[in-house]
Structure 1
Amino acid sequence: MIVTHRIAHAIADGEVTVAYRRWRRPAVKEGQEFHTVAGVVRIDTVNTVNDPLTAADAREAGYSSLAELTATFRDTPGAFLFRIGLSWKGPDPREQLAANTDLTREDAEELDRRLAGLDRQIPWTHHVLSRLAEEPGLVAGRLAGELDIDKESLKRRIRHLKALGLTISLTSGYRLSPRGEAYRDLQR
């Protein structure tokens, strides 16, 4: 589930506790967690909405008016309206991992194994890490062209590097994390 930067921070601050989405079937499950710019958010409830939404519902979801909220809904034929209860779980643990530069030789060897697994079908990880070291802020579209991988597929792949603490997503593009830089230093 995707939320805007503003809504993510409002969830973290406890100001927003629900979201509304129009889907044919629920795209999330109770207990599921997802990462946002403000940290990890938990899906507490997922319920079909049968009654008309109100201005109070819109405010609870972080919107100033019902019109502002309903403007975010996709016009999907056969879709139902769902009310998703949300809570902030805490900071994104990937940020702490990304900041950790105390890599042992064993840590580097484990990263080598993990990257080799990601490169099984198409070698791409070291190229991406090298290019981000050379040009912080490089966007997926340019990287994808260099690798002959479609942009959306590369974005999904780069999320694996982020999960390993090696990259950081910027508003536009990516850069190496301090951990990513330390890993590259050990490779030399």
Structure 2
Amino acid sequence: MLLRQNVLASIASGDVTLAFRRWTKPTVKAGGRLRTAIGVLAIDAVDEIEQGAIIDSDAHKAGFADLGDLLKELAARPEGRCYRIAFHRIGDDPRIALRQAADLDREGRAEIGRKLARFDHSAGLAWTGPVLRLIAARDGTTAAELSAAIGMEKLKLKALIRKLKELGLTESLEVGYRLSGRGRAYLDGE
């Protein structure tokens, strides 16, 4: 579930606690978690709702000036059913602390190496080392540049790079990627 950039600060402050979406199938579920730019959200409830049952105070809790603005946004996507999603912020994205954990001992480095080897094996291509080195060479290296350099379709590569982010080795920039402190420490120890 994507959240508008201009609403994220209000989510962080606790002023926005709802979202409304029109989906053919919900993309989040109650009890789940969602990572965002302002931290991790706990999904408290996902309920199908009749659009006519939404009230003005719901629109405010979803970050809209009024009910009319919310209804306009829902009308932009007429397919699917209307859902009310309740959530709250539960903390920072754990990948941030992991990216900063650059003190890798021998076992930590070996564990990362094993995971990267599994990623390569699973993809049928040794992509992790080349991608990490290309990103290390220049902050802001884009997925298009990386995919051209290693001969992999861009969307497939972007999905794979998310695995590097999960290990705390890379981070996304406004445009492109860069190595984290942990990623640099790993490469320096190779």
Give the alignment's TM-score, normalised by structure 1: 0.92
| Matched pairs, number | 186
Alpha-carbon distance between aligned partners in 1 of 2:70 and 2:173, rounded to the nearest angstrom = 27
Cα RMSD (Å) of the superposition?
A: 1.6
Aligned to 1:48: 48
CA positional deviation for 1:42? 1.2
Report the AA paired with residue 5 of structure 1. Answer: Q
Instruction: Quote the residue 1:110 is aligned against.
Output: 111
* Distance in 2 between residues matched to 1:118 and 1:153, nearest whole Å: 13
Q: Does 1:75 align with 2:77?
A: yes
**Structure 2 gap segments, 5+ residues each:** none
SS at structure 1 position matched to 2:189: helix
Q: 1:51 offset after TM fit, Å?
A: 4.5
- CA deviation map 1:118-176 (0-9, x unaligned): 01122211111101111111111221122222222211111110110101111111100
Per the alignment, residue 131 of structure 2 pairs with 128
Matching residue within 149, 158, 162 for 1:159 = 162
Percent identity over the alignment is: 39
CA shift in 2, pair 1:44/1:141, >3 Å? same
User: In the TM superposition, what is the alpha-carbon distance from 1:101 to its structure 2 partner?
Assistant: 1.0
Q: 2: CA distance between counterparts of 1:37 and 1:5?
A: 9
Distance 1:151 1:7 in 2: 29
Provide the residue aligned with 1:35 in structure 2.
Answer: 35
| 8 A Cα contact 2:169 2:180, kept in partner | yes
Q: Report if aligned partners of 1:11, 1:86 keep a CA contact under 8 Å in 2.
A: no
Counterpart residue number, 2:94? 93
Structure 2 match to 1:150: 153
CA offset digits 1:15-60 (Å, max 9, x no partner): 1100011011222110110111111111100111125234332221
Instruction: Describe the shift of the 1:50–1:141 C-alpha distance in structure 2 as closer, same or farther (beyond 3 A).
Output: same
Long gaps (5+) in structure 1 = none
More helix by share: 2
Please state how far the C-alpha of 1:80 moved relative to its aligned partner.
0.5
Runs of 4+ in 1 over 6 A off after TM superposition: none
Query: 2:51, 2:82 within 8 Å by CA — same for their partners in 1?
Result: no
